[in-house]
Amino acid sequence: MTNAVMIAGTHSGVGKTTVALGLMALLSRRGMSVQPYKVGPDFIDPSHHTAICNRPSRNLDTYIMGTDGVRRTYARTQADISVIEGVMGLYDGLDSTDTASSAHVAKTLGVPVVLVVNVHGMSRSAAAVVKGYQTLDPDINIAGLIVNKVGSLRHRTLVEDGLKGTGIDIPVVGTLPPNKELTLPSRHLGLHMAHEQEWDYGKLADFLENNVDVDSLLDISSMAQSPDTPYEIVAPQADVRIGVAMDSAFCFYYQDMFDELQQCGAEVVNFSPMSDPMPDMDGLILGGGYPELFPAQLSSSNTRQEIRAAAQDGMPVYAECGGLMYLGKSLEVGQKKYEMAGVLDSESRMVQRFQALGYTEAEVMNDTHLSGKGKTLRGHEFHYSVTECGRDARFAYRMRRGKGILDGQDGLMAYNTLASYMHTHPAAVSMERFVNSCREYSRK
């Protein structure tokens, strides 16, 4: 049985990421194997988890993946402890439901919750906040509290006495003083990715070591229910090569996708469209990321012409968000236009405000190498760009939820290429059809 704990918060910005990263770093430093997870569709926080724990972080999202998909991913755990970082506030889910919330994941997996509470400007009132979280859903095991922004020893005493005086039997396992040095830099899509700069995770570990009763927290983690029968990844002999754009411009991927590609018999070949020639491959995946930060490098690389020629030859290509922007004719950044791959009859430009944010649901209108007509796909979208298409543009998806590219449509199609603003997950749409399409192309 693997111990597990979820670090959740009363709301966004309460300090749960600092606590989660610090706990991962501290337990790893103690020699424990730590399996990290992130609730929700986030790509950025998991990059830090992976860097700290030296094993891929995995996402747990009950909207996109369904509860069965979440259980399957969680059942892959083989570690001393699983640490799950929550999303937003504990009960914040899809619309006014608990679907996709940290609470829903905790219930689905039977994992105890340590709740981070910002007590700045509060003493006994903190007890009212905790009481509300404790009683809203009795099926959630809030087994410990970490109080953040504690100004002094007296402030800590007032908060703890207030909790005891109202009969709350949840132990305080950590009290964190303000610490501006631990602020993590962010930008329009969230924190900076782990690979973008040197991070001193040791400072986070020290901060947790000095302010959290880690032994009590480990005791809480032993309350976790055993996961389902372990789900082993069995990869057959690879008979098809799929290139994956992997660099600072294209870095938004789920580990579960790589696993499924291998399970379907694909060899994954990572390369950078900015600096590497196109490898020998039978298909291409271009994930999201930050092409807007590297437009000159992407435009000056001969790889974009190689990708265009391969796409025109019928090689299967699948792209999401940043990949969609790259496959168009041009990308405009700061009133300067850069040539892109030119596979799609589209042009993208960056704007100052986000254009779409949230979960999506799409009906497949046209057969693609990813899914058949009539299927329903779930995913999410978050971007600061606008993509304009030619009048003869063909789309694969009709959006039931979400914005898409144009007039509620997404999934731009050309040749054997599919590119969308929507990010998907293999639990929502299997990669098997795409791999088979690549296999057919390899036999031409």
**pLDDT for the residue 62:** 98
Whether 309 and 206 share a structural domain: no
Q: What whole-number distance in Å separates Cα of residue 316 and Cα of residue 26?
A: 44
Whether 22 and 164 share a structural domain: yes
Q: Please list, residue by residue across 49-88, b when 16 or more beta carbons sit within 10 angstroms of its beta carbon and e when fewer do.
A: bbbbbebbbbbbbbbbbbeebbbbbbbbbebbbbbbbbbb
Whether 182 and 270 share a structural domain: no
**pLDDT for the residue 93:** 94
The single residue of 53, 264, 321, 389 carrying the catalytic annotation is: 321
Whether 187 and 282 share a structural domain: no
In a domain, 47, yes or no: yes
pLDDT at 120 over 60: yes
Continuous segment of H or E residues that includes residue 288? strand 288-289
DSSP structure string for 347-414: EEEE-SS-SEEEEEEEEE-S--SS--TT-EEEEEEEESEEEEE-TT-EEEEEEEES-TTBTTEEEEEE
Domain termination residue (choose one: 172, 193, 221): 221
The token pair at 184 is 């993590």
pLDDT at 276 over 90: yes
Q: What is the SS3 string spanning 139-150?
A: CCCEEEEEEECC
Report how far Cα 140 is from the mean position of its chain's Cα atoms: 23
Find the mean pLDDT for residues 411-431. 97
Q: Poorest-confidence range of 230-234, 258-262, 336-340, 352-356?
A: 230-234
Whether 189 and 253 share a structural domain: no
pLDDT in tens, 25-59: 999 999 999 999 999 999 999 999 999 999 999 99
In a domain, 8, yes or no: yes
Whether 117 and 253 share a structural domain: no
pLDDT at 187 over 50: no
- 147, 119 Cβ separation under 8 angstroms: yes
Whether 208 and 350 share a structural domain: no
**CATH no. for residue 359?**
3.40.50.880
The pTM assigned to this predicted structure is 0.94
**CATH no. for residue 156?**
3.40.50.300
Whether 27 and 172 share a structural domain: yes
In a domain, 226, yes or no: no
The CB density around residue 188, as the number of other CB atoms within 10 Å, is 13
Q: What whole-number distance in Å separates Cα of residue 253 and Cα of residue 55?
A: 15
The token pair at 412 is 């731009």
In a domain, 9, yes or no: yes
Structural domain that includes position 150: 3-221
Q: Please list, residue by residue across 329-341, b when 16 or more beta carbons sit within 10 angstroms of its beta carbon and e when fewer do.
A: bbbbbeeeebebb
Which SS3 state, helix, strand or coil, does residue 37 take? Answer: strand
Number of domains in the chain: 2
Q: What whole-number distance in Å separates Cα of residue 308 and Cα of residue 27?
A: 47
1, 22, 307, 312: which is closest to 184 by C-alpha?
22
List CB contacts of 205: < 8 A, sequence separation 6 or more.
Answer: 22, 25, 26, 29
List CB contacts of 132: < 8 A, sequence separation 6 or more.
Answer: none
Terminus-to-terminus CA distance in the chain, angstroms?
A: 48
The CB density around residue 200, as the number of other CB atoms within 10 Å, is 11
Number of C-alpha atoms within 13 angstroms, CB side, residue 443? 7
| Reported confidence tier of residue 200, pLDDT bands at 50, 70, 90 | confident
- 272, 246 Cβ separation under 8 angstroms: yes
pLDDT at 444 over 80: no
DSSP state for residue 415 in the 8-state scheme: T
pLDDT in tens, 324-347: 999 999 999 998 999 999 999 999
- Active site annotation includes 321: yes
Q: What whole-number distance in Å separates Cα of residue 151 and Cα of residue 195?
A: 34
Whether 303 and 166 share a structural domain: no
Whether 29 and 166 share a structural domain: yes
42, 32, 39: which is closest to 106 by C-alpha?
39
